[in-house]
Structure 1
Amino acid sequence: MNWIILIVAGLFEVGFASCLGKVRETSGTEMYWWFTGFIISLVVSMALLLKATQTLPIGTAYAVWTGIGAVGTVLVGILVFKDPVSFWRIFFITTLILSIAGLKMVSQH
């Protein structure tokens, strides 16, 4: 169950990083809405990470959390923000995904 909580925490990390990107691109009332989404996503992500680390090793949980956030943020950047796509970006994102799966497989919990 705590692995699911950790995955959801990582998805909220993608949310706060994406909201931060939109805050940078907008102004006025729209910027404040994105900033509110950033704060809410940040708080939820941290709370779920805290919950997951109650039973998972902190090093593993943090690595998986940041990995999910990094992979998800790159994908959102490519799909939503039209960030550049290259062989090496995809290659290293793939190795990061494999590393996250490897940490899950070798974890004792």
Structure 2
Amino acid sequence: MEETNMLTWIYLIIAGLFEVVWSSFMKLSRGFTVLPYTIATVVGMIISFVLLAKATSQIDLAIAYPVWTGIGAVGAVLAGVVLFREHLSLTTMMFVGLLIISIVGIKVTSGR
């Protein structure tokens, strides 16, 4: 059971990372006008949703969904800064830090 649970969490983490993939490709698609990036966006979405569905088969939705969206949110912020040279204020960085703390806290207190 422990190995299955670990694999389920890996699915959830990868699903969250694919949130970052599809959101980054969506920006590159320029409003879905660049076909290769549009296709990559849709493929990333499908992979993310399929892995989230697999994860929620064993992880409560009340835990899986906020972790999934949190990974995607923090990852999108980092992708924006690193890939698209977006600027974050110190206050925004503080709130991103709180998101990370919250994601870890949800996992630690979930008991799974």
Task: Give the TM-score, by structure 2 length.
Answer: 0.90
Cα RMSD after superposing both structures: 1.3
* 1:32-65 Cα distance to aligned partner (Å, 9 max, x none): 0000110110000000000000010101100000
Distance in 2 separating the partners of 1:18 and 1:80: 9
Structure 1 position 108, deviation (Å) = 2.3
Task: Give the TM-score, by structure 1 length.
Answer: 0.93
Partner amino acid for 1:72? G
Q: 1:7 aligns with which of 6, 13, 19?
A: 13
Correspondence for 1:67: 70
Deviation beyond 6 Å, 4+ runs, structure 1: none
Alignment coverage as a number of residue pairs: 106
Partner amino acid for 2:86? D
Q: Structure 2, unaligned stretches of length 5 or more?
A: 1-6
Correspondence for 1:43: 46
Q: Structure 1, unaligned stretches of length 5 or more?
A: none
Whether the aligned pair in 1 keeps the contact of 2:32 and 2:38 (CA below 8 Å) is no
* 1:52-94 Cα distance to aligned partner (Å, 9 max, x none): 0001010110000000000000000011111112111110000
Q: Which moved more, 1:95-104 or 1:81-90?
A: 81-90
Alpha-carbon distance change, 58 to 89 in structure 1, aligned in 2, over 3 angstroms: same
